[in-house]
Amino acid sequence: MNAAPRPIRKLLVANRGEIALRVLRAAHEAGIRTVAVYSDADRVELHVRAAHEAVRLGPPPPRDSYLHVDALIAAAKATGADAVHPGYGFVSENATFREACDAAGLVFVGPPASAMRRMGDKVSARRTAEGAGVPVVPGAEIPDPTDGPAVVAAARRVGFPLLVKAARGGGGKGIRRVEREADLAEACKRAASEAKTSFGSEVVYLERYVERPRHVEVQVIVDDHGHAVAVGERECSVQRRHQKVIEETPSPVVDDALRAKVCAAGVAVARAVGYRNAGTVELLVGADRSFYFMEMNNRLQVEHPITELRYGVDLVAEQLRVAQGLPLSFGDRAPAPRGHAIEARLCAEDPANGFLPSTGRVTALQLPGGPGVRIDGHLYVGQEITLFYDPMLAKIVVHADTRAAAIARMRRALHETRVGGLTTNVPLLLDVLDDPRFVAGDYDTSLLSGYAPRDPAAPAAHLEGADGEDLAPVVAAALAAHRRTPTTSVPAAAAGPSEPAWVREGRRSLGEWPR
């Protein structure tokens, strides 16, 4: 405790895209010089241009670039960097990389390797949470996923339905739901295979499936001065295949009493594992408001901006403070929260075509603005979107005084969003915002189960003007004119009750208007 300050003079950001840009901005505001790294596919990306220096890592595949530990350490040494921020993904939860930074004398902006190892293995993490008095979902370890009788015996103890989950890693990979015993062996095989491919380990475990769960997470941050603080909770239940789509804070299901309990649980887990810096304790909340520890992410979360907007903090700046041995700027208590914040992940994928990734060049770009709107992204006209990396293009984040106002603001922001040359998931995001369950706050992780986009080619209804005239010729003329101009996946402006019927119908017919 009370470690001597260790000023960071030059920071290497071991990541790419929007999170690299986010970290670079915080470092610049703190007066820290910066180093970007890049693969051959990213040599002209915005994070490369934003840093004071940039170092090539290698070819586009992550294993040859952003996952290449030796290349990252070499880049830091070559540029004289004295610290490394890993962002999220890639090496952010890699204890071996953390140890390599320690050995090289580099300050790592994140937790110690010991905490990363204990919480990076979900079986060990469950034991730690239990030891801290935090409830966990009933489960069982599977030392050998090919040992059929042992797996079946463990599954019978856990009960069906259950999840087969990778013991290491995250991001929704290596997870299979199993409804009956007959499907267990195949699910274990597939989960183990995916876990080995994604995380280098085929170890899996079983966990009882919680019916109608809500995915709620607690933002924690711990310094060397005895401060372990929970900066509220986030609702992350809007998911597709275990990948988060929309997040919000506060959670609609968490009242003050439950908030106190889940935040105390998050701090208890962080203290039990000897955590330092920012991390997230993820929980499942049942329909009866009972909650269970699920895992801890040993890094900054993708959705951290909504916490920043609601609590008025800069979590990356706080990470840098902690890494330098300084106390949290807000001491032992989070700032008072204000209003409601929502984040939507803008992705290059086609909801109408099985969510296939969309690749190509960005030919036009319009991102939303106005009061209470924040964009964390790395898009620019002429950018080439490839299959090498995650399809997330940007995070659209809004803040307003109330949840209803935040939903309206997000809907408006999405209607302003245009990304020419790519297909995006904006129609899906608008569908979620219009879903009565989401609007009411009464939803869980099954919200998008069986999601099917509305058919933009559905026949149009007969249109009549105010005095009964046929508007079909007007619509046809409008469509013809519209097709002579570049189109994108969403309209440039939000529709409202005063918008002419022929405009609304033209947009529907082109598949641009979800409602």
The full set of domain ranges for the chain reads: 10-109, 112-134+212-338, 138-208, 339-448, 458-515
CA distance 289 to 258: 8
Q: Does residue 513 or residue 221 have the better pLDDT?
A: 221
Least confident residue range of 131-145, 398-412, 452-466, 491-505: 491-505
Is residue 299 pLDDT above 50, yes or no? yes
How much is the pLDDT for 5?
Answer: 86
Sheet of strand 53-58, all strands in order from the earlier edge strand to the far edge: 53-58, 33-39, 10-13, 83-85, 107-108
Q: Give residue 375's pLDDT band: very low, low, confident or very high (50, 70, 90).
A: very high
Report in angstroms the alpha-carbon separations of 112 from 277, 326, 331. 9, 16, 21
Is residue 471 pLDDT above 70, yes or no? no
83-85 and 10-13 as β-strands: parallel, antiparallel, unpaired? parallel
Rounded to an integer, the average pLDDT of 465-481 is 42
**Mean pLDDT, rounded, of the chain:** 88
**Helices 122-131/113-120 angle, 10° precision:** 100
How much is the pLDDT for 33?
Answer: 98
Domains 10-109 and 138-208 equal at CATH topology level: no
pLDDT, one tens digit per residue, over 11-48 is: 999 999 999 999 999 999 999 999 999 999 999 999 99
CA distance 472 to 466: 14
* Identity at 234, one-letter amino acid code: R
Per-residue three-class SS string for 296-345: EECCCCCCHHHHHHHHCCCHHHHHHHHHCCCCCCCCCCCCCCCCEEEEEE
CA distance 80 to 5: 19
> 339-448 domain in CATH 3.30.470.20?
yes
pLDDT, one tens digit per residue, over 494-507 is: 434 444 444 444 44
CA distance 166 to 145: 11
Rounded to an integer, the average pLDDT of 255-284 is 98
pLDDT, one tens digit per residue, over 44-101 is: 999 999 999 999 999 999 999 999 999 999 999 999 999 999 999 999 999 999 999 9
Rounded to an integer, the average pLDDT of 430-448 is 97
Q: Indicate which residues carry an active-site annotation.
A: 299
Rounded to an integer, the average pLDDT of 284-302 is 94
Is residue 463 pLDDT above 70, yes or no? no
According to CATH, the superfamily of the domain at 112-134+212-338 is: ATP-grasp fold, B domain (3.30.470.20)
Rounded to an integer, the average pLDDT of 138-163 is 90
Q: Which residues contact 491 (CB under 8 A, 6 or more apart)?
A: 415, 507, 512, 513
How much is the pLDDT for 143?
Answer: 80
How much of the chain, in percent, has pLDDT values that exceed 90?
A: 75
Between the ranges 109-118, 164-173, 187-196, where is the mean pLDDT highest? Answer: 109-118
Residues forming a β-bridge with 177 = 163
Tokens of 40: 């051959």
How much is the pLDDT for 1?
Answer: 56
Is residue 284 pLDDT above 90, yes or no? yes
Q: Does residue 200 or residue 120 have the better pLDDT?
A: 120
CA angle 301, 306, 307 (to 5 degrees): 75
Contact indicator for 389, 16 with CB cutoff of 8 Å: yes
Radius of gyration of the chain (CA): 24
H helices of 200-331, in order, are 256-272, 304-311, 315-323
Q: Give residue 514's pLDDT band: very low, low, confident or very high (50, 70, 90).
A: very low
Q: Give residue 456's pLDDT band: very low, low, confident or very high (50, 70, 90).
A: low
Q: Which class is 138-208 in CATH?
A: alpha beta
Contact indicator for 300, 316 with CB cutoff of 8 Å: yes
Q: Which residues contact 293 (CB under 8 A, 6 or more apart)?
A: 125, 126, 129, 134, 135, 136, 137, 265, 269, 281, 282, 283
* Identity at 182, one-letter amino acid code: A
3 state DSSP class of 58: strand
How much is the pLDDT for 455?
Answer: 62
The CATH code that applies to domain 10-109 is 3.40.50.20
In 147-249, the DSSP E strands lie at: 162-166, 175-178, 204-208, 214-222, 228-240, 243-249
pLDDT, one tens digit per residue, over 200-248 is: 778 888 988 888 899 999 999 999 999 999 999 999 999 998 899 999 9
Rounded to an integer, the average pLDDT of 252-269 is 98
10 Å CB burial of residue 4 (0-12, 13-18, 19+) is exposed
Q: Does residue 133 or residue 193 have the better pLDDT?
A: 133
Rounded to an integer, the average pLDDT of 136-158 is 90
Rounded to an integer, the average pLDDT of 262-289 is 96
How much is the pLDDT for 373?
Answer: 98
Rounded to an integer, the average pLDDT of 447-455 is 84
Rounded to an integer, the average pLDDT of 329-348 is 98
Rounded to an integer, the average pLDDT of 466-472 is 42
